[in-house]
Amino acid sequence: MTARVIDGKAFAARVRAQVAAHVARLRDEHGLVPGLAVVLVGEDPASQVYVRNKGTQTTEAGMQSFEHRLPAQTSEADLLALIAALNADPAVHGILVQLPLPKHLDSDLAINAIDPAKDVDGFHISNVGLLGTGQKAMVPCTPLGCLMLLRDHHGSLAGLNAVVVGRSNIVGKPMAQLLLGDSCTVTIAHSRTKDLGAVCRGADILVAAVGRAEMITGDMVRPGATVIDVGINRVERNGKLRLVGDVDYASAAAVAGAITPVPGGVGPMTIACLLANTLTACCRAKGLPEPDGLTA
Ligand code: NDP
């Protein structure tokens, strides 16, 4: 079997177009422009690239982008004061504090200082609790993107066995919650899981969010399963730097029914879902109908 390739790049472009169309309607019918504020502390090169991409795509979707670049030595008090000002700013509907923060800053404190209604990353403890209890939450962008791809491929996910490898607060745990919310039978695997291969082979849906290049191999995949590869790893191959996932694509694609590639799978969905969350936050703040299909 050769797996169907789930094209996250094309899907993300459709999500961005849907967001842009909805934003245009908000502007025309309500004079409303959703705004996303991104806070970057320090000069981490990868974070600089992410923040630039977020800003560009926010503007392209017709929304307002507010970038706040603070020096690496910024104090906790100054960071919290900026977050408080953004919470109070009516032009800002979404706030994202780019992680990781420099070591002297407490990221939990910063995230939990964001107004939960503006927490478009879905990391605030209130949103974690709302998601965990099946209530309307702001949902973390990467797992939301994975869920959209899975719903698009399968239709209903009810009754499917899902295995999520990884239990981080950013990807693994919210992914598991979302799959449970869609009535999958969910297993969460991690570094202490015994016989990971056997656990993975029980999956109709296998989500890899491990951070280890190509560690999920074809022999760990049930024939016909859907494989979602969240991993982004930079490895050197033949003297060149390449991006690879947490899944060994060649061997897994030979067994799976469908698979996301790296790059071009889950990655592009993350910013698309950030835009979707910003739009959703704006609609909720104003009591307006939310866009279809862009929330959990
Ligand atoms: P973390 O490092 O926070 O979590 C990794 C998880 O994998 C942990 O729960 C860990 O288990 C588990 N793990 C590590 N080694 C093994 C192993 N040998 N067997 C089984 N489980 C293992 O990573 P993130 O969740 O933040 O990210 C995961 C991957 O997703 C990374 O490659 C990251 O770059 C990528 N990513 C991609 C995004 C995108 O936009 N596409 C966004 C966010 C992340 P334990 O808890 O026991 O230590």
Which tens digits make up the pLDDT trace of 132-147? 999 999 999 999 999 9
pLDDT digits (tens, 9 = 90+) for 160-219: 999 999 999 999 999 999 999 999 999 999 999 999 999 999 999 999 999 999 999 999
Return the percentage of the chain with pLDDT > 90, whole number: 99
* 291 contacts: CB under 8 Å, gap ≥ 6: 18, 19, 22, 276, 279, 280, 283
Lowest mean pLDDT among 122-126, 209-213, 288-292: 288-292
CA of 232 to the centre of ligand 1 (A): 10
Q: Which atom of ligand 1 is nearest to the CA of 269?
A: 40
User: Does ligand 1 come within 6 angstroms of the Cβ of 116?
Assistant: no
- The model's confidence at residue 272, banded by pLDDT at 50, 70 and 90, is very high
pLDDT for 14 = 98
pLDDT above 90 (res 1): no
pLDDT, average across residues 224-238: 96
Out of 15, 232, 270, 277, mutate this one to test ligand 1's pocket (max ligand atoms within 8 Å of CB): namely: 232
| Single-letter code of the amino acid located at 24 | A
Name the active-site residue from 57, 118, 119, 121: 121
CA of 158 to the centre of ligand 1 (A): 25
* Per-residue tokens: 26: 């908000």
Closest CA to 74 of 111, 112, 106, 120: 106
The neighbouring-strand residues paired with 206 are 163, 227
User: Does ligand 1 come within 6 angstroms of the Cβ of 166?
Assistant: yes
pLDDT, average across residues 258-272: 98
Question: What size, in residues, is the chain?
Answer: 296
pLDDT for 246 = 98
Q: Which atom of ligand 1 is nearest to the CA of 172?
A: 25
pLDDT for 167 = 98
User: Does ligand 1 come within 6 angstroms of the Cβ of 190?
Assistant: yes
CA of 246 to the centre of ligand 1 (A): 9
User: Does ligand 1 come within 6 angstroms of the Cβ of 266?
Assistant: yes
CA of 290 to the centre of ligand 1 (A): 31
- Please say if 121 is a catalytic residue: yes
pLDDT above 80 (res 221): yes
Q: Name the average pLDDT for the chain.
A: 97
User: Does ligand 1 come within 6 angstroms of the Cβ of 278?
Assistant: no
CA of 215 to the centre of ligand 1 (A): 11
- Residue 37 contacts residue 66 (beta carbons within 8 Å): yes
Q: Is the link from the previous residue into 45 a cis peptide, with omega within 30 of 0?
A: no
pLDDT for 164 = 99
pLDDT for 294 = 96
Name the active-site residue from 54, 118, 119, 248: 54
pLDDT above 90 (res 19): yes
pLDDT for 6 = 98
- Please say if 118 is a catalytic residue: no
Helices (H), 164-246: 172-181, 196-201
pLDDT digits (tens, 9 = 90+) for 79-118: 999 999 999 999 999 999 999 999 999 999 999 999 999 9
pLDDT for 295 = 94
* Per-residue tokens: 239: 């003297």
